[in-house]
Structure 1
Amino acid sequence: MGEPVERFVRPALPAAVFHDDDGGPIHYSERWGADGAPSDACSRVSSPERFTGLHLVADALIDYLAKTFDADVDSAQEYAGDLLRHGITPVRAVRITPRGRDAAPLTFVFTDFPGLAVHAGAQQDFIYPACGCDACDETAERCADELERVVRGVTLGGFREWVDPGGNAGMRLAFEDGSMGGGNTGPVPEDRLENARARLAQLPGGWAPWPLRAK
C-alpha cells in the first residue's frame, strides 16, 4: 500500500438564482419530466454564466495538484493546443506535468463559454459542460463532480489509453469506487495519432500514478 493521497476540498461555488422568461426560478438538472426536454431546447443555451464556478474549481484543483504531487505547473496560452477538440475559445491554459516519467500530464483550458476543457495523457479531452444546452440541463456542481473524479482517477494511476492496429484510439479510466469509464476517443489527427502510438507503446500497463511531493 502506498502513502494515502490527501483529498481535494472543493471551494464553495457562487450561489445564484437564474430566472426564465416569466420571471420564475430555473431549477437546473431537474427541469424536464418524463416527457423529456422540448424539441427546441437543444438549440437554446440559457444562463451560461451558471458554469462560471468551474473556473474557481479548476484554479483550486491546480493549486491542490501543485501542493500534493511532484509536478511542474506552467501557464501559457499555447498549451490550449494540447486539446484535440475544435470549436473551443480558450482564455487561459495551464499544463501540469508530473515528474514521474510514466504519469499522464494534465492540461486545464479555461474557456470563454464559460467552461473548462481538460486534456489528459496523449489523446483524451474531457469537456465541462459536455454540451451546455437547455436540453442537457447540466449544472456546475455536477460538472465539478465529474471533473474531480476524472482528475483523481488520472493522478491515482487508473488511466489507460491505446491505439489499435487499425488506427482506432480509445481509453479507460478506473475510479476509486471500482467503476470504469471509457470507450473510443474522437477523431485524432494523423500526426497526433502517430505520436500517441509511440508514447503509449511504452506504457503497456497504462499511465502510472503521480508521484507525491516530499513533505
Structure 2
Amino acid sequence: MRADPHAARFAVLHDAAEALLDELAERYTVDRRESKELLGPADALVRMERLMPRTPAAAPLAVAFTEAPGLALRLGRWWVETLPMCACEVCDEDPSRLVEVLRTQASALVEGGLWERVRRGVGGSWFESRLIGDGINARRDGPLTRGDAREARRSGFAAAVQWAPWPHRATNLSGSGSEKG
C-alpha cells in the first residue's frame, strides 16, 4: 500500500509531539516509558510514549505515533484525541492547528484541568471527562463495558476525580548547596 502524499504533511505532528514530550519530561517530575502497542484490534503496532507523574493524584499522558502519520493523544483514563481526525485532501485539516490542539490539551492536563468519572444509567455505565484550561473547555462521554465500569469504580471513579497538577521538577540553581537570597 502506498502512502498518501497529502497525508505526509502531518509528519510535523510527530516532531511536535517529540518536542512536547521532551519539554514536559524536563519540566515535571515524571517517568517516561516507551513501548509498542496496538491501538485497536485491527491496527498495527505503534510506538507509544507515556509520561507518568510520580504522584498518583496526577493524570498520565500518552502519545501514540501512528503511521498515517498522526497521533493518538490520551490524557488520564478516557480522554482521547486523534490528530488528525482525517488526513484526506477533502477534510484538509491544518497541521499547525493540530499542533496547537496537542499543546493546549497537554497544558490543561498538567495544570490539573482534567476531571473524570463513571455514571450508571439504565442502559449501562458511561464515562464522563472534562478538560478545562487556557484555550479549552470541553466535555466527552461514552459507554463502558461492565468490566471497565466495575474496575473504574474500584479505582475511585464513582465520584468525579479531578486530577492534580503535575509536580514540577526541582531545579538546582547553583552547585553550592542551599542559598537564601
The corresponding residue for 2:178 is none
Q: Aligned to 2:149, which of 190, 193, 206?
A: 193
Residues 66, 95 of structure 1: CA spacing in aligned structure 2 closer, same or farther, 3 A cutoff?
A: same
The CA distance in 2 between the partners of 1:64 and 1:87, in whole Å, is 33
Residue from 115, 124, 129 that aligns with 1:171: 129
In the TM superposition, what are the counterparts of 1:130-149 in structure 2 within 5 Å? 130-149=85-104
Deviations 1:91-122 (A, max 9, x none): 31111100111110011100000000111211
d(CA) in 2 for partners of 1:171, 1:200: 14
Aligned residues: 165
Relative to its length, the structure with more strand (as a share) is 2
| Cα RMSD (Å) | 2.2
Q: Give aligned-pair identity as a percent.
A: 32
Partner of 2:77: 122
Q: Normalised by the size of structure 1, how large is the TM-score?
A: 0.69
Q: Is the 8 A contact 1:115 1:128 kept in 2?
A: yes
CA contact (8 A) 1:161 1:200 kept: no
Q: Is the 8 A contact 1:70 1:98 kept in 2?
A: yes
Partner Cα separation in structure 1 for residue 53 and residue 158 of structure 2:
17
**Residue in 2 that maps onto 1:102:** 57
Distance 1:132 1:60, change over 3 A: same
Classify the secondary structure of the residue corresponding to 1:101: coil
Structure 2 unaligned segments of length 5 or more: list them: 172-181
Partner SS, residue 26 of structure 2: helix
CA distance in 1, matches of 2:43, 2:156: 26
5 Å-filtered alignment, 1:21-40, equals none
Partner SS state of residue 102, structure 2 = helix
The one-character-per-residue Cα deviations of 1:22-42 (angstroms, maximum 9, x if unpaired) are xxxxxxxxxxxxxxxxxxxxx
Unaligned runs of at least 5 residues, structure 1: 1-44
1:156, distance to aligned residue in structure 2 (A): 0.3
Alignment TM-score, normalising by the size of structure 2: 0.81
